[in-house]
């Protein structure tokens, strides 16, 4: 099963425990997390269902660049790290 790992910064706003999923795509994996905690959706996705600009996702150490479809494939051994991107000046 793929594992979704949410950084502690997200835990300041809502529960975001590590989740194991048999999803085949990133979006399906995120939907698994959203079904466990619906509030998490608003922190990660905008009103159109796209990844918010202040969120970064890495699958097996590689940056997810498509913030719209979120159709990057997952394998049974994928590690998905979800974090808030650094911003500011």
**Selecting from 2.60.120.10, 3.40.50.920, 3.10.20.30, 2.60.40.1180, what CATH number does the domain 2-84 have?**
3.10.20.30
- Count Cβ neighbours within 10 Å for each residue of 30-69 and write b for 16 or more, e otherwise: beebeeeeeebeebbbeeeeebeeebbbebeeeebeeeee
Q: Average pLDDT in the 47-67 region?
A: 97
| Average pLDDT of span 25-36 | 97
Per DSSP, 69 falls in state S
Looking at residue 36, the DSSP 8-state letter turns out to be: H
Instruction: Look at residue 87 in the predicted model and tell me its pLDDT.
Output: 65
**Residue boundaries of the structural domains of the chain:** 2-84
Between residues 89 and 14, the one the model is more confident about = 14
């Amino acid at each position: 099963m793929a594992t979704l790992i949410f950084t502690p910064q997200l835990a300041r706003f809502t529960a975001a425990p590590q989740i194991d999923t048999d999803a085949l795509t990133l979006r399906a994996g995120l939907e698994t997390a959203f079904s466990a905690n619906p509030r998490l959706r608003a922190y990660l996705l905008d009103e159109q269902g796209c990844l918010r600009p202040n969120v970064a996702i890495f699958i097996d150490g590689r940056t997810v660049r498509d913030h719209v479809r979120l159709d990057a494939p997952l394998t049974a051994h994928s590690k998905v790290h979800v974090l808030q991107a650094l911003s500011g000046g």
